[in-house]
Structure 1
Amino acid sequence: MKVFDVPGVGDALIFPDDHPPPHVHFVHRGEGWTVKVRFSFLSDVVGRYGEIRMVGHRPTVRTVNDVLNEVEANLQRCRERWWSLRGTTGLDGRWAEVSPTGMVRLPLAPPQRPRRVARATYRAQTKEVRLVLDDGSRHVIQAGRGIEEAEEWS
């Protein structure tokens, strides 16, 4: 499914068999490379995901940075398309911390009061991420207003 177009690079795509974490593919058929860019429903951080696959030329650093910037500029569309196609935020099962002010953080290591995300859903109309934690607590946060730690951000 096409998400958006980057002039001179190609289309941002989500494939039907893609699995979390949420990401888009850029395939440059003329130069023979593919770059995957990971994005989050919780934070506005984007990053290269996995290795750049090459059959032909390697993309320049500038091209990869342009692709990252385009995903950042089109995060809402990426989230909407991923949710409509995959029906997951990729947050289920993650460790969770919720501050007294309602800030949600998903750390890599277990927090002091360990809780996990039992279910995370997304509402595109309101741009809300709704979390149910394993202790039964419910939290609603605007997409992009939380913190998600991930080893893959690059």
Structure 2
Amino acid sequence: MHQLETESSGNERPRVTVAAIVQRGGRFLVVEERIDDGEPVINQPAGHVEGGESIISAVIRETLEETGWRFRPEALVGVYLWRRSERDGGFLRIGIAGSVDDHDPNRPLDDGIVRTLWLGREELLSENVRLRSPLVMQCIDDYLKGERYPLSVLKSLLS
């Protein structure tokens, strides 16, 4: 569990995360994962940007660790802030579209990852699927609407 930083007002700051949006044959690359020892949920390959890591490096690393697929980022889909409540810092998700190749089916997946799936939009909307957050469908819907921005808008600066 990551410790949250808090501002002087006591409100939590958003956690910066990246998510890979990959479509192939009308289906999207997703993972089934267990969070907090609960029921499995569906999410894009996603995770936190680690200290000293660029946004692009983070999404490549997270996709490989969670799926065994090598991700090639191609475009920014969107930047999303989601909070469960006013006091919840929530998540700042950076959704990046790309493609995958060079799959290693024998690679051990991150803790909590149950399996990798390819699901269509309607399957993701079905009652049988629990999405980790509304960010999952928002990223997919924006991708399907053609939202694309050059990766050059994502800057990583070190001082």
Structures share fold, TM-score greater than 0.5:
no
Please classify the TM superposition score into its range, dividing by the shorter chain length.
under 0.3
Alignment TM-score, normalising by the size of structure 1:
0.27
The one of the two structures with greater contact order (alpha-carbon pairs below 8 A, sep at least 6) is 2
